[in-house]
């Protein structure tokens, strides 16, 4: 009887989702929104229902098929944008390279360093704070997706050492916190972070004056640190994870790792360090060295995008042998190291994000046109709140890059003749919020990976992601913006 009820409920959910995905086009659309815009909204709502209640894999494939029925979208283009996208390839190559790293003792040594440190030994929440703080610090200089993949094998090794099981609130908190801290850190500096740079660039194009990095970070760093602290408090007060695994963990009983890191492990570490360096150094060096061969070299490297470094690392790992055996078995890495459900979900979210921001469908244009007459008549602080909230919501539902572009352009257009509002401060807030993408799978690839990992799920990522998002909007509006009015 119980199985029958469960099966009936499952079919009802699927029917509701299908009605949304294929029936929204038939509903009356708001003025200015096309039928195709309604159809894309329906596809998003339908697949979100399936992701939250049923599964992440086959609904993602179903969504690709549903998008193909939107007249403005071509099926081959959808497939190319999903599975032929550089982000999809980047994720697959990075999964393989990090699998090689996870097989070394380096990850266990790093996890042990966190767990057995003097600060962590003071209490479970000291450990959690230290772990998240390390992500925030490193994330100021590295892209959020790359950072997530650096930390993914570390947090999974922590699970193993603490003997945490999937479904544990503590395990879920660490995974969700890893994603959230990656997002927050990427909004704290413009170094290697494209979304704040887009907002700053649009402001400079319009006014001919740049918002310098120092001013941006003077605002963004305090906002990010406060948001990080509030995230931890939200976990502590709302999620209330059982910290027994950390409280009862006796580091003295842990078997130490005998010997030094092996020569083969050192080669793997060196290759992984090379991959990270190729990701990070162009963004750090080119703003400082603006001419000459060094600048030319790193601009050349940067021109290949994020997929080239892990491709180089993958090939090197397969070529180099130690004691007659390759450092990486490609077939093993593809079967054991790549999370295919996560990758399929990421591919579908890329297609969905492209559909949402497609100019022919006009969803973002309609949103901008609908909000402009409302916002332009409001008081300055309410206007700041609305633009900050708009950027935060849109970046958690679609493309960060499009969010930074559309919301900044709308803000500049609406405020161009206003003298009672600090336009630069609004732009800084938009640049920050465009990076704070951690609530839904379409927001960032790392959200989809985390939600499909089993350590947390889509429902929890949405719940705590949006809770943290609201807290961040409040902090950016009532702390970040006043700082901007003082320094700019």
Q: What is the mean pLDDT of each run of 10 residues along the chain (488 residues)?
A: 74 92 90 88 87 81 92 89 80 82 74 74 87 86 78 85 89 95 90 74 76 85 96 95 83 57 86 83 80 87 83 94 90 84 76 77 76 73 92 84 76 72 91 92 84 89 95 96 90
The CA-CA-CA angle for residues 236, 240, 244, to 5°, reads 105
* 245 phi and psi angles, rounded to 5 deg: -60, -35
Tell me: do 298 and 153 sit in the same domain: yes
How many domains in the chain? 2
In this structure, is residue 477 part of a structural domain? no
Look up residue 344 and give its two tokens.
């399929």
65 in any annotated domain: yes
Out of 312, 337, 362, a domain closes at 337
pLDDT attached to residue 191? 65
Task: Look at residue 1 in the predicted model and tell me its pLDDT.
Answer: 57
Q: For residue 259, give both structure tokens.
A: 């010997």
> Which pair of tokens denotes residue 355?
């559909």
Residue with tokens 């709140």: 385
Q: Among 345, 334, 328, 299, which Cα is nearest to 454's? A: 345
pLDDT of the residue at 275: 85
Long-range CB contacts for residues 223-227, cutoff 8 Å, separation at least 24: 223/187, 223/188, 223/432, 223/472, 223/475, 223/476, 223/479, 223/480, 224/136, 224/184, 224/185, 224/187, 224/188, 224/432, 225/136, 226/475, 226/479, 227/184, 227/436, 227/468, 227/471, 227/472, 227/475
Nearest to 239 by CA among 168, 183, 294, 339: 168
Same domain, 225 and 265: yes
Residue 45 included in any domain: yes
The answer on 40 and 182 residing in a single domain is no
Asked if residue 222 is part of any domain, the answer here is yes
The pLDDT tens digits of the residues spanning 126-171 come to: 989 988 988 888 888 777 877 888 788 888 888 888 889 888 999 9
- Following DSSP, what letter does each residue of 343-354 receive, concatenated? HHHHHHHHHHHH
* Cα 436 to Cα 416: distance, rounded to the nearest angstrom: 26
| Distances in whole angstroms, Cα of residue 213 to Cα of each of 191, 219, 284, 430 | 9, 10, 13, 15
Contacts of 296 (CB under 8 A, 6+ apart): none
Cα dihedral sign, 205-209-213-215 = negative
Radius of gyration of the chain (CA): 23
Do 66 and 99 reside in the same domain of the chain?
no
Token look-up 């913006």 returns 481
Residue 259: per-residue pLDDT:
60
Is the domain of 55 the same as that of 102? no
The predicted model scores a pTM of: 0.69
- In terms of Cα–Cα distance, which of 339, 360, 356 is closest to 393? 356
Domain-located, residue 171? yes
64 and 102, same domain (yes or no): no
- pLDDT at position 417 is 63
Task: Examine the domain organization and report whether 55 and 148 are in the same domain.
Answer: no
* Residue 250, pLDDT score: 66
Quote the domain boundaries for residue 308.
Answer: 87-190+212-337
Q: Which of 276, 302, 337 is the last residue of a domain?
A: 337
Give the model's pLDDT for residue 143: 73
Among 287, 305, 337, the domain-final residue is: 337
pLDDT of residue 456: 92
Same domain for 250 and 128: yes
Q: Is residue 408 part of a domain?
A: no
**Tell me: the pLDDT tens digits for 372-388?**
677 667 788 998 999 99
Do 51 and 158 fall into the same domain? no
DSSP conformation class of 251: G
Taking residue 394's Cβ as centre, other Cβ atoms within 10 Å add up to 25
* Separation CA 312–CA 279 (nearest Å): 12
**Are 248 and 322 part of one and the same domain?**
yes
Same domain membership, residue 147 and residue 227:
yes
DSSP bridge partners of 321: 326
Is there a single domain that holds both residue 1 and residue 122? no
| Pure H helices in 286-399 | 292-302, 308-319, 330-332, 340-356, 363-375, 380-395
Is residue 148 in a domain?
yes
- 298 within a domain of the structure (yes/no): yes
Any residues with CB less than 8 A from the CB of 381 and at least 6 apart, and which? 477, 478, 481
The pLDDT assigned to 69 comes to: 92
């Amino acid at each position: 009887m119980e199985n029958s009820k469960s099966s009936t409920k499952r079919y009802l959910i699927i029917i509701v989702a299908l009605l949304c995905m294929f029936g929204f086009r038939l509903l009356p659309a708001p003025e200015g929104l096309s039928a195709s815009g309604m159809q894309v909204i329906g596809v998003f709502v339908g697949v979100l229902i399936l992701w939250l209640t049923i599964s992440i894999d086959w609904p993602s494939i179903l969504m690709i098929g549903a998008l193909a029925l939107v007249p403005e979208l071509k099926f081959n283009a959808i497939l190319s944008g999903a599975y032929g996208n550089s982000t999809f390839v980047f994720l697959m190559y990075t999964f393989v390279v990090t699998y090689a790293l996870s097989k070394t003792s380096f990850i266990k040594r790093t996890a042990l360093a966190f767990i057995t440190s003097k600060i962590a030994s003071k209490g479970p929440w000291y450990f959690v704070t230290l772990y998240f703080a390390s992500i925030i610090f490193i994330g100021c200089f590295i892209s959020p997706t790359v950072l997530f993949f650096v930390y993914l094998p570390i947090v999974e090794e922590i699970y193993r050492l603490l003997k945490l099981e999937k479904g544990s609130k503590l395990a879920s908190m660490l995974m969700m916190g890893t994603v959230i801290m990656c997002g927050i850190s990427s909004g704290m500096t413009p170094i290697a972070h494209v979304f704040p740079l887009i907002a700053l660039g649009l402001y400079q194009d319009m006014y001919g004056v740049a918002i310098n990095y120092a001013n941006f970070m003077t605002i963004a760093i305090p906002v990010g640190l406060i948001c990080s602290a509030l995230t931890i408090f939200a976990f502590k007060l709302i999620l209330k994870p059982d910290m027994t695994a950390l409280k009862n963990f006796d580091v003295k009983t842990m078997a130490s790792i005998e010997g030094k890191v092996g020569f083969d492990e050192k080669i793997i570490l060196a290759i992984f360090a090379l991959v990270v360096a190729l990701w990070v150094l162009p963004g750090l060096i080119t703003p400082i060295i603006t001419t000459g061969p060094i600048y030319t070299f790193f601009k050349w490297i940067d021109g290949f995008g994020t997929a080239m470094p892990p491709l180089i690392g993958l090939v090197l790992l397969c070529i180099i042998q130690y004691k007659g055996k390759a450092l990486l078995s490609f077939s093993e890495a593809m079967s054991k190291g790549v999370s295919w459900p996560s990758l399929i979900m990421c591919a579908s979210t890329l297609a969905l994000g492209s559909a949402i921001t497609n100019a022919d469908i006009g969803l973002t244009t309609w949103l901008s046109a609908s909000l402009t007459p409302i916002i332009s008549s409001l008081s300055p602080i309410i206007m700041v709140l609305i633009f900050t909230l708009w950027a935060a919501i849109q970046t958690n539902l679609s493309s960060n890059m499009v969010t930074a572009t559309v919301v900044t352009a709308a803000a500049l257009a609406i405020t161009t003749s206003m003298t009672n509002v600090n336009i630069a401060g609004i732009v800084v807030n938009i640049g920050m919020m465009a990076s704070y993408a951690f609530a839904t799978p379409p927001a960032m690839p790392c959200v989809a990976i985390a939600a499909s990992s089993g350590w947390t799920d889509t429902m929890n990522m949405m719940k705590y992601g949006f809770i943290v998002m609201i807290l961040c909007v409040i902090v950016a509006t009532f702390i970040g913006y006043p700082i901007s009015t003082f320094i700019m």
